[in-house]
A and B are shown apart, each in its own frame.
Chain A
Amino acid sequence: DGGITQSPKYLFRKEGQNVTLSCEQNLNHDAMYWYRQDPGQGLRLIYYSQIVNDFQKGDIAEGYSVSREKKESFPLTVTSAQKNPTAFYLCASIWAGGTGELFFGEGSRLTVL
């Protein structure tokens, strides 16, 4: 069954700790994205990657880091430098030669205690 898998679905973290959110896709999509969703603010782009070993900052990259060592995987690390990390995080992917549709994972909800 093809799709995008995010884990964990829920995560609690103490202030000052780094946390890594996993995103894996088996759709053979080229580009992958991380969005942050806050109430009333829509979906804001954190980072995106077009190909392996390459990624670009989005609109709100400060306090986050990513890697793209494999085509299937695009993990997001929320560092202690992120001032307000409590949010819902969505990973997405797209096939460069397709219609433009973004396929989303089910999301990870991070709560900082």
Chain B
Amino acid sequence: GENVEQHPSTLSVQEGDSAVIKCTYSDSASNYFPWYKQELGKRPQLIIDIRSNVGEKKDQRIAVTLNKTAKHFSLHITETQPEDSAVYFCAASIRGGTASKLTFGTGTRLQVTL
């Protein structure tokens, strides 16, 4: 089955700096790569996703890049703010079947300090 590795497990940045979280996946058939943000005590929520037919996607201060050849994808957050502090999960799945079976990474705890 799919295996997703995520690094680092914790990340501390100063407000205004950039943060990068990296993930690798094992199944070359995976074609959908979402990122979820989980604030303390809350449910995970989708913040951005990318499909294997594109290499990069941006949404304001958040961007995701995908390298299919190397089987890795990354989340980039620019101009970090205190409200970006949360746990971030990457995931991978094969879309197109009757249901997605997402495999998650182990999470990165991002702390944005003032």
Contacts and interface: CB of A to CB of B under 8 A. Distances in A.
Interface of A: 30-31, 33, 35, 40-45, 48, 50-51, 58-59, 90, 94, 96, 99-102, 104-107
Contact of B46 (A35, A43, A45, A101): A101
Q: Is the interface of B mostly helix, strand, loop or mixed?
A: loop
A101 B43 contact: no
A99 B46 CA distance: 11
Interface residues of B, number: 25
B49 A100 contact: yes
B49 A96 contact: no
A45 B106 contact: no
B105 A104 contact: no
B95 A104 contact: no
Closest 8 CB pairs of A and B: A42-B106, A104-B43, A31-B99, A43-B104, A50-B99, A42-B104, A101-B46, A42-B107
A31 B99 CA distance: 7
Contacts of B89: 42-43
Interface in B57-114: 89, 93, 95, 98-107
